[in-house]
Structure 1
Amino acid sequence: MHASRRAVVWLGALVVVAAVACGGSPPASHSQTGTPDGPAPVIKPVVLAEMPHDPTAWTQGLEFDGPTLYEGTGIAGKSQVRELDPATGAVRRSAPAPHNYYGEGITVVDDHLWELTWRNGVAVEWDKNTLTPVREVPVDGEGWGLCRDGDRLIRSDGTDRLRFHDPATFTETGSVAVTRDGQPVTQLNELECVDGQVWANIWQTDTIVRIDPQNGVVNTVVDATGLWPGQDGSRERVLNGIAHIDGDEYLLTGKYWPSMYRVRLDPPA
């Protein structure tokens, strides 16, 4: 993710406390590139801290912009773009999606924020500072997840493809098919771009995959089973929400979850 995400002050303080409590120490950064030989390795998230989250939020997108945490929520007529207090989960500001759109993934681009819609055929550009919509642009196909990878945006649409878009116009500029161990991976949902790689929730599972967008190959799999014990197999209250903090640390949550989890995703050995 872009550089303004780095050095989030409250998060830095929080992880020191959590790391001491867990008997660990803050991890060093590592390269997130490369394709492993053979099957993609599977890792488990290491929980560092737990914070509150609005249990009524149908989370579609979660993203840090410096110390500010943004969340996009879904359901037609209830969708919102929100600014959250990351320490308490409290909603600082919110605005409804226009025209009762079914909101999906979000990502910040400078002073604006892009929000996908599920089947409304448009992406909405918001003024980040005022949380007001400024324009809508047409999008072919469905909108699921969205993240910024340098000078392009990457979108998922529920298929096995990641689609690339211009961050200023939202024009589609290309795509790549996603595979894990040679097999197509579908149901790619919430996305987070980090250091040239794409983390993606797999819809209605406890799995997150890391994808190399240059070739579409899944090079790491995160098994987040049991992250929130109350999930308990629900098909609605599922894992969905990845926000990069710094280095190997992320904030994870899910739809209708009462908690967000600060975790460390250790690189595979």
Structure 2
Amino acid sequence: MTKAFVVGHPIKHSRSPLIHGYWLKQYGLDGSYERTDVAPVDFGEFLKSFRSLGFAGGNVTIPHKEAAFLGVERRTAQAERVGAVNTLWIEDGVLWGDNTDVPGFMAHLDASLGTGWERDVDTALVLGAGGAARAVVAGLQDRPLKRIVVANRTLSKAEDLVRDLGSDGSVRLEARAWETIPQVLPQARLIVNTTSLGMAGQPPLDLDLARAPHDAIVADIVYVPLQTPFLAAAAARGLRTVDGLGMLLHQAVPGFRRWFGVTPEVTPALRALILADIEGHR
């Protein structure tokens, strides 16, 4: 039986076991996926020992993604770009790390908006400069955009992101102070919130979308609540919106394929299952 895990601290809130458990049952596979709570001080030892516990690999969540990046033996190109690892597996005895938030976010955009949506987007505005922002920017850099603007309350963090990910010549990457967002909004046809603002228990994202283009797309990586105040404000203006749940579901696909040998589908039934769980824990 193949065993996989999600490791974090704390970990009881993770819905990854529900996602992977659904797929294991759906495809009739003999496997397991379990939560593992590991304190930061013990994470290095966990990386060395999980193979001896019978695990084929697993997911890494807060606060271990940067430590996993440093602790693996090999990394994929997208993990290198983002500077964080959220998926682990063993290949020919070597511990590998990947960052599936990158394809997870992009797959959700494509599924929500249809292929080719980016043809109408010259400028993307990314709010925040943490690990999630790095994954979002890395994904957007692979699309035919002209400009990605990263706005953050601490400008130096946005500047670090721009320096680390760089501009590849076709997509210009810019760091901006938070207070300059109103100047960028009129050109931003994709606006992505990667901060925790709007999450249950957090203050809302206070951003006036009046200056945004009438055909802008507004995305939020927060999925509790599913419709954040930011997305509600965008919908009230008639803008297209993309919620945060799909990123969680789509980022899980590559890991499941690595560990269990089947490429699972993100279906309406899976989405409904996770939504019901979110509603049940309010």
Query: Could you say which TM-score interval applies, normalised by the shorter chain?
Result: under 0.3
What TM-score do you get using the length of structure 1 for normalisation?
A: 0.27
Name the structure where strand makes up a greater proportion of residues: 1
Pick the structure with greater CA Rg: 2
What TM-score do you get using the length of structure 2 for normalisation?
A: 0.26
Name the structure where helix makes up a greater proportion of residues: 2
